[in-house]
Amino acid sequence: MSVIIFDNEAVTNSKFGCSPSERSLDDLLGSGILLVKKPRGPTSHQLTAWIRNILGIKKIGHGGTLDPMATGLLTILCGKAARLTDIILKGDKRYISVIRFKRTVDSEELENLLSDLNGEIYNVPPKESAVKVQVRTRTIKSLNLLDFEPKSGIAIIEISCVAGTYPKPDLVVEKIFSRHFHTFDQVP
């Protein structure tokens, strides 16, 4: 266990910068990271271009592609922070998925199944993706059951995986669960 100690009396030397709360908006956008809730429809590239035009930022990028129909947080890197793009793109990812089972599933059975599904999987990107559609191996680091309502058959799971994994129910979870359950669908 690590211990973090904050020094409430620490002072920043003005020769080396200032507190983020004292910076101008231009300074923040010149070296900041924005988290934007991406709606269904636009590509990550389109959303980034809109932000560039609206905010007038010359150097901007995004830290991972969300497919056009996907929603979620898109990391936008502004100004000097754009140098971090490669680091963020290559980093591990975490997703939350809502699943509804059409047949009764026991929570213990589901927990056991999830714990057995870590490791390498075969993964195919969707047709709309920005990468070549071909079978690839990817690593699922963990699948955790966050919440489960047996009566409705709705489960919320957390998927931790390597970059480049497409953990959509129809591409990953369905393949995994179809070995154990006969029917499956995604909650809209």
Main-chain phi, psi angles of 45, to 5 degrees: -65, -45
Distance CA 31, CA 17 (A): 13
Joined together, the tokens standing for residue 137 give: 């191996």
Distance CA 147, CA 145 (A): 6
Alpha carbon 113 to its chain centroid, in Å, reads 23
182 Rama sector, left if φ>0, alpha if ψ -120 to 50, beta otherwise? alpha
Choosing from 7, 26, 27, 67, which is the catalytic residue? 67
Q: Which of 78, 47, 85 is nearest to 64 (CA)?
A: 85
Active site residue 67: yes
- Residues catalogued as catalytic: 67
